[in-house]
Structure formats: structure tokens, C-alpha cells
Amino acid sequence: MNKVLLVVMDGVGISKTGLGDAVTAANTPTLDWLRENCPHTRLKAHGTAVGLPSDDDMGNSEVGHNALGCGQVYSQGAKLVNESIESGKIYTSETWAQIKETCRKGGTLHFIGLLSDGNVHSNISHLFAMLSEAKKEGIGEARVHILLDGRDVPATSALTYVDALEAKLAELNDGSFNACIASGGGRMKVTMDRYKADWNMVKLGWQTHVCGEGRKFASAKEAIETFRAENPGIIDQDLPAFVIEKDGAPAGKMKDGDAVILYNFRGDRAIELSMAFDDDDFPYFDRGYRPNVIYAGMLEYDGDLKIPKRYLVNPPEIKHTLSEYLVERGVRQYAVSETQKYGHVTYFWNGNRSGKFSDTLETFKEIPSDKVSFDQRPWMKCAEITDDLINVIRSGEYDFIRCNFPNGDMVGHTGNYDAVVCSMEALDLCLARIKAVCDECGVILAVTADHGNADEMLEMNKKGKLQVRTAHSLNPVPFIIYDKNARHEIKDKDGFGLSNVAATVAGLLGLEPDPVWCESMLK
């Protein structure tokens, strides 16, 4: 059997326009050499190719790694929720029934979530649909706790979404229904931590949304405009937390008998808040005030750990993953990344499963991420990941190794173009070291990405002016095969996507792909 290393360069796409293309601007001799001398193609990494509603929807690391790891296309995220809302199935769930019953008895229905239409973590249309249904079904009070995006949408677009929400609430509010914005803050400052990297973000979210503690404002618009004036150049994801005050009191402090819906559908930044609401034995911070509420997520964010206990839409049942297929054939596997993307090469890769298919045949390694803004250290932990890979490759213990370098994506989200260029150059140095050890040990190297980001750091706004772009791109991503000892030709055809990688990896290993997978790219 051959040995294969798959490198996922997170957020490294292929620019179509050259606008803000930090990938091309960077000095990347190794990546350039691989593209010029090795079999390669472009993969679609967004929209329908990864199970999202349309090709206007940008891909993300979660659905990208699902597709890479299972070799198939499943309805995901926004599409999954869209289907449930359009069919009305979401409102027939046991969880919705419990929420409705609780709120009809006098409880307030609270919504927490990312206020944007980025379709990566959430979609504002889902919030609007549930607010309308809540009124229709006799719920009298609702509060919305908004997390500001500026990452999957333009960097300073928050007021666009706040204005749209305020208009929707004005349309719904009457003598039978009263809803308003109650609190908020930037997604990288409050509530939406992931992988237990910074529990203080979640603690601040708890204090803001649940307890109604924090700096008070008369409206979300006032809060946003004030913070922008006080912090010139600040983007939405970094705005501080705020609380809306009505008649001298917090507008949305939670109380016994209320219900709470986290309407984000993506799991990684939803798990920790869900734990704070659900877990009786919770060691991460002192919650202090803890009202007795019914809490539900939009989806089940972790199927193995059953987080949260209640959710509105059933997740896709991902079967026939590459990991499971390889375990059945006795193939030894190794997965490594730093904290920011560790869950992507493990949980998401394995079909949204926290555990392993085999403790004997699968080994996972997490390298702790730095707790700083990533544009301050754009190399992140790529050298440490590479050190680990070199040791693992030389050990000869594993047949299939996969890793994720987060640089292009995590630094790309900061909007700091120079830092992204630096991050790409650091990554390229690591690719050179990896290529050398693959030569030494006879390992086949495959290089790809899960979506674009670093390749499109600028965009044209509605006024025709260039502005910083912090969101993922709609660009294709590379797929390159390097083998010192053989040339593995790729089919000359268009239309390949991330879901074609699993069968291709199996072929490189020397195995016949699972027939349920999308076809191999190998001739």
C-alpha cells in the first residue's frame, strides 16, 4: 500500500480577478513549483458542490471538511434549515412544541445568533421566519440578542442588518406581540468562541445576553455608532458587547420560564454557549445568575456529545466516510492541526462525529493555538504542525496522514492584507520542508484547500470603492499531486469538487474507492 499525506491549506483559493490576492502576492516558490510541475486541477469548494443552497453561497471549513472526508454531497447548514422551514417541519418538532407551550404561559422567547445573511453560521431570513411563526402561534414576547458579523459579509455592514431587523420587528409588533433587540456585540468579542479557546468570550456573552449586564444603550444603532466613533477603523466582528435598556432596565434579561433559541446552524461556535445553558456541572466559568429556561439550538451541534439537548432541525446523517472505509481495511490514519482547525480534521472530517471509528487505527493530535489576534502572529502554528508531520512521516507508522494549516483562513478573517501575505510565505516554507521529507520517505503528497479567503482580500462596495474583505471567497481551490517516484495523472474534465477528494485519496493509497462516493479524479 502507498502512503499518502493530504495537506489542507485552509482558506487558500485561486483568484479569478486578482483583487486583493494575497496568495499570488506572496513569495511562494514551493507552491508555485508544485503548480507548474505536478498534475493539478481546480476544485469547486462553495455552493451546491458542498451542499449549500446555491452557488451564491460561500463555502466554509465545516462543510468543506465534511465533503473532503465523506466523498459525497449532503444538504448542509443553510440548505438543511431552509428545507425544514419551507416544509414547515421545523414547527412540528417536539422542541418547537415545548418552546411554544412555555412561552404561551407567559415566558419570553429569546433568539441569539449571528445577524447576517452570510450563510456560514446563520441566515437572518431564518430569524425572520421564526419571529413570524412565533407571533402566528400566539407567543406574545420576543427578544433578539444580535451577534455582529463583518466576517462572512462586508466588514462594516452591521447597520444594514440591524435596520432590516428593526423594520421586521416594527412590522410584527402590535397589541398581541412585542419584540425588540435586547443585546449584542461583535462575533469575535462575545459569545462565539470555538474549541474552548477563550471561555471569557462565552462568559461575556452570558453576562450580556442572559444577565443583561454591560454598557447600556437606547438602541443597537446607537451602540454601533458610538463604538465606531470611539474606535476608528474598528470592524463589526470586533465591536464590544452592549445591552439595550428600556425604561431604566435591561430589555432582555432572561428569567425563569423563558425559552431560548440559538439560531446559528454551524456547530463550532455554538457548542460552548450551548454547554453553558445545558450543563448542570459546568466548570468553565461561574454563571452566577442561571434562570430556568428551555434552551434549543437550530441544529444538534455535536451528535456524539449530544450538544445541545434540544434542537429544531435534525442534522444530515453522514455515512460512508473515508475514515470509516479505511478503518474497515486496516489502514492506519493520523490527523493533526492546531486548535483553530483541529475539529475540522477530526470531527467534521469524520462526518460530525466527536470520537474515532477505531482507537487503534486512528490518532489525532491537537497543537494549542496562540490566544492572540492572528494578524499579530500570522505564521500561527504552521512550524509546529510541520515538525509534528515530519516526525510522523519518518516514523512510518501511518498510511494516510492529513493536516490543516489554518493560516490563510484565520489571518484572512482579520482583514490585514500584509499579515496574510506573511502567513502564506510562512506556509510555503512549511510546504518545502514537507516536500523534502515526502521525498525521503516515499510518501505521496496531495495539496488542496477547503475554500477561498486569502485569495480575495478586497472587494468593490456599492459605491464603487475598494474595501477590505474578510469573508470567504467563491473561488475554486487547488488540488495538486506530488510523488517523486511516479506521476499520477488527473482526468481532464471540469466540475470536480471537494467531494471528489476521498475517492482520489483511496486511489492514491492503492485501494478501490467506495462506489457511493463521487468519482476519483485519477485517470
Residues involved in catalysis: 61
240 by DSSP, 3-state: which?
coil
CA–CA gap between residue 186 and residue 236 (Å, rounded): 6
Instruction: Please list the residues that pair with 479 across neighbouring strands.
Output: 41, 448
Radius of gyration of the chain (CA): 23
Residues 6+ apart with CB under 8 A from 235: 150, 155, 156, 186, 415, 468, 470
Task: Please state whether 135 falls in left (phi above 0), alpha (psi between -120 and 50) or beta.
Answer: alpha
133 by DSSP, 3-state: which?
helix
Tell me how far apart the 2 most distant CA atoms of the chain are, in Å. 76
CA–CA gap between residue 48 and residue 43 (Å, rounded): 12
Quote the cell numbers at residue 117: 445573511
Asked whether the beta carbons of 146 and 220 are under 8 A apart, the reply is: yes
The type of residue at 306 is K
Say if strands 294-299 and 311-313 run parallel, antiparallel, or are unpaired.
parallel
CA–CA gap between residue 206 and residue 113 (Å, rounded): 13
Instruction: Strands of 213-268 (E only): list them.
Output: 216-217, 242-246, 249-250, 259-262
Q: DSSP secondary structure string, 11-29?
A: T----SS-TT-HHHHS--H
Specify the DSSP class assigned to residue 327.
H
CA–CA gap between residue 68 and residue 64 (Å, rounded): 6
Give me the phi and psi of 78, to 5 degrees please: -60, -40
Asked whether the beta carbons of 115 and 148 are under 8 A apart, the reply is: yes
CA angle 165, 169, 173 (to 5 degrees): 180
Residues 6+ apart with CB under 8 A from 320: 70, 71, 72, 514, 516, 517
Looking up cell 476519483 gives 520
Q: DSSP secondary structure string, 53-119?
A: SSTTSPP-HHHHHHHHHHSS----HHHHHHHHHHHTGGGGSHHHHHHHHHHHTTPPEEEEEE-S--S
